[in-house]
Structure 1
Amino acid sequence: MAERSGPSRILALVLVGLGAFLLVAAILIPTYTVPRLEKTPLDLEVTTVSTGTGSVLNAASLASGQAQVDQNVPMVSQRFVTVEDPSNADEITLQAGQTLRRSDKQGDSGLLTASVDRVTIDRVTSMPVENPVGTIQVQGDKPAEEVPHTGLQYKFPFNSEQKSYPYFDVNARASKDIDFVEETEINGTKVYKYEQTVGPVDLSGVVNLPTNKVTLPAATWGVEGGDTPVTMTRWYENNRTVWVEPETGVVVKGEEQIHQYYSRTAGEAEVDVLKAPITFDENTVEYQIQQAKDGQDKISLFGRTIPIIAGILGVIALIAGVLLGLRGGTGGPRHPARTSGTRPTNDGGGAAPAEPRDRDWTTDQTEVIPRTNLSKE
């Protein structure tokens, strides 16, 4: 009679199936999940604060007949980045409102610069897309202007490389390469350091603002010529440094050496408008590091931790199922084998017919007594 499947065989099949499922999952989870995690989140909302001390032109002094540049002015720059429409599975629109203020003055008198920048980027590469075209607004009473953005700004790509990237400057409204310098650490976090040099840029050729080209008496500018009108152009230069966590592309720290000045010649400042190093404050650095770590943890969880655990459990289940199945298949028959044979006859010279096959000799307790020949020859 064929052996019936028992609980051990069923359990073996379950374990083999479970092991195979876990091994497949270990392969598919990182393949499917990680690419979806390596995208700029659609709920992004980041505020960065930078501080510095430098020199600032007192704009009111131009009207009084003598340009005055205030020294050792404390400054604070604040940038608020939010997600706007259109945003979808592949692209995200970022809007960044940024102000630079001198913190020793209150209200409008302390505001030095303000802008609203809007750009739509690829959620993986962080590079701008062609449509819609980005915009920049620098005057609150005038609409934003369409400005094609051609480089990185607020975030680097996932898995950033040790190479140069195009980086867009809002003031210059153009991109220039930002170059990899070195791998280093900030508060125990590995980062890539990049540097960029911008300018000198003639701002009057970038934005049509009355303050970007100004004509005043030479004496007001503090140069020779007395009352002779002298036209000065506003120039812009910047040395930018960013430190990027490479796996997530988060900018952990940023620093700018900003220099705006009036001059008749590029690169030769005659009257400083703004000259200061502006750097992320410590709270911003810590916040950005935490943002990077959160992203790393998610990628590591689905890209390494879960697949490794699933793979180990899958191998264990598979081996256990195979061993249990092999063990369950080695059992013998339920009853001992029955044999047929002959019984001796009473005269010892022949064989008696075998007992019927349905008779169980193992349970027959009848004593077999051979016949005895009672007659004498």
Structure 2
Amino acid sequence: MPDSGKPTTPPAAPPAGATAARTASPLSLAVLGLGVFLLVLAPLLAWYVEPRAKVTPVDVDVTTVFTGTGSYFDTGALRTRDRQKITITRHVLGDVAASEKNGRAVWDVSTTVDTPQTLALKDPRKAFQWTVERWVTDRRSNAPVHCCEEAPTRFDGDAYLKFPFDVQKKSYRWWDNTLGAAVPLRFAGTKKIQGYLGYRFTGTVPPTRTGSRQVPGRLVGRPGQGQIQAEEWYANSGIELVVEQRTGRIINASISPHKTLRAPGARRDAVTLLRGEGLQFTPATQRAQVRLARTDSDRLALVGRTLPVGAAAAGGVLALAGVVWVVRGRRAAGSE
């Protein structure tokens, strides 16, 4: 067409602020971003952080005490004394340096058995019985690890000073250091210790020969013989362990050990070396173990359940609110 000669009018410029109106507000984007972050954080806490928090501690320094009534053989009087107080003290000290080198839990364990006379001496070397052990376990599974100068070297089983994490209602093999073997413990319901509910496991050890000891023959009914190798026998008529379910920490333990001597080849006990009926954690030890179990359990529950659930719920709400806010903002901008 021929030019009419009228000037061409350029298209009108968009009103000031129209571009900004079509862009989501910074606050809505921030809400959306926070919601997405929390949704990502929730499974990260549950599937990554919590499993790494479920590890056996290495910096332990714990003393547990059992007490009860029983009998023991008085070597000075050469006779068994009955109805005496028996005290078992176990001190567990973690070897942090050794644990950090190999990623395992290395614990040095000192256990003393005391009578009223030896307890007053406050010296493990003068105790009725003193054993020193070194336990090495996998920090995640609680399985024994054979390294790092462990003692005893035959250590086996699922549990000893603690059970695995997330204890199940099933049987476990508990290592009995006096027997030198693992003992099956059956799940036997629940029990409250100092008001705290735990899983209860029970078992027994039938009379079992565990070794020999040189003694005068007359001590085991062989007066015509001088020194003989008498047989050492061990039984435990009642083992009861109450365990915190999430951490596997033992919050109460009760044992009834019976150690005797027999003449070689004899079928009956000749001497009672030690007998304890229902030796169990003192109330003070129970309270300390419950306090540690509750603290560790709450920490694991926070990381593995409370925070993931809270993060997922809050993240879902914030993400949805952010999406709605952004969409509404764009629609409002488009209708102008």
TM-score, normalised to structure 1, is 0.75
Residues 200 and 267 of structure 1 are in contact (CA less than 8 Å); yes or no, is this contact kept in structure 2?
A: no
Q: Deviations over 1:211-239 (max 9, x none)?
A: x232323xx55x4x655558432212124
Name the amino acid aligned to 1:246: Q
**Which structure has the larger Rg?**
1
Q: CA deviation at 1:247?
A: 1.0
Gaps of 5+ in 2: 1-13
Q: Aligned partners of 1:38, 1:267: CA distance in 2, in Å?
A: 48
Q: Aligned partners of 1:97, 1:332: CA distance in 2, in Å?
A: 76
| Superposed counterparts of 1:24-35, under 5 Å | 24-35=40-51
Going by fraction, where is helix more abundant, 1 or 2?
Answer: 2
Q: Deviations over 1:64-90 (max 9, x none)?
A: xxx311111112111110111421374
Q: Which residue of structure 1 aligns with residue 156 of structure 2?
A: 150
Name the amino acid aligned to 1:122: D
Q: Secondary structure at the match of 1:135?
A: coil
Q: Which residue of structure 2 aligns with residue 208 of structure 1?
A: none
Q: Aligned partners of 1:260, 1:236: CA distance in 2, in Å?
A: 5
Q: Aligned partners of 1:320, 1:313: CA distance in 2, in Å?
A: 11
By relative contact order (CA 8 Å, sep 6+), the higher-ranking structure is: 2
Q: Which residue of structure 2 aligns with residue 368 of structure 1?
A: none
Q: Percent identity?
A: 27
Of 174, 177, 196 in structure 2, the residue corresponding to residue 189 of structure 1 is 196
Q: Deviations over 1:213-270 (max 9, x none)?
A: 32323xx55x4x6555584322121242211112110011111101111223566322
Name the amino acid aligned to 1:287: A
Q: Which residue of structure 1 aligns with residue 115 of structure 2?
A: 102
Q: Which residue of structure 1 aligns with residue 273 of structure 2?
A: 273
Residue 5 (str. 1) matches residue 20 (str. 2): yes
Q: Aligned partners of 2:191, 2:85: CA distance in 1, in Å?
A: 29
Residues 118 and 135 of structure 1 are in contact (CA less than 8 Å); yes or no, is this contact kept in structure 2?
A: yes
Q: Secondary structure at the match of 2:25?
A: helix
Of 102, 108, 117 in structure 1, the residue corresponding to residue 133 of structure 2 is 117
Q: Secondary structure at the match of 2:99?
A: coil
Q: Aligned partners of 1:175, 1:328: CA distance in 2, in Å?
A: 68
Q: Which residue of structure 1 aligns with residue 11 of structure 2?
A: none
| Superposed counterparts of 1:1-377, under 5 Å | 1=14, 3-6=18-21, 9-61=25-77, 67-84=78-95, 85-88=97-100, 90-105=103-118, 106-107=120-121, 111-132=127-148, 134-136=150-152, 147-151=153-157, 152-204=159-211, 212-217=213-218, 220-221=219-220, 223=221, 227=224, 229=226, 231=228, 232-239=230-237, 240-264=239-263, 268-277=268-277, 278-331=279-332
Task: Give the number of equivalent residue pairs.
Answer: 310
Residues 104 and 110 of structure 1 are in contact (CA less than 8 Å); yes or no, is this contact kept in structure 2?
A: no
Q: Deviations over 1:166-200 (max 9, x none)?
A: 22221222223222222333233221222232242
Backbone CA RMSD of aligned residues: 2.6
Gaps of 5+ in 1: 62-66, 137-146, 206-211, 336-377
Q: Aligned partners of 2:132, 2:267: CA distance in 1, in Å?
A: 28
Q: Deviations over 1:260-319 (max 9, x none)?
A: 112235663222111113211011111111111111111111112222222232223223
Evaluate the alpha carbon distance shift between residue 134 and residue 196 of structure 1 in structure 2; reply closer, same or farther with a 3 A threshold. Answer: farther
Name the amino acid aligned to 1:37: A
Q: Which residue of structure 2 aligns with residue 367 of structure 1?
A: none
Q: Deviations over 1:313-362 (max 9, x none)?
A: 22232232223223322446899xxxxxxxxxxxxxxxxxxxxxxxxxxx
Name the amino acid aligned to 1:268: R
Residues 103 and 110 of structure 1 are in contact (CA less than 8 Å); yes or no, is this contact kept in structure 2?
A: no
TM-score, normalised to structure 2, is 0.83
Q: CA deviation at 1:115?
A: 0.5
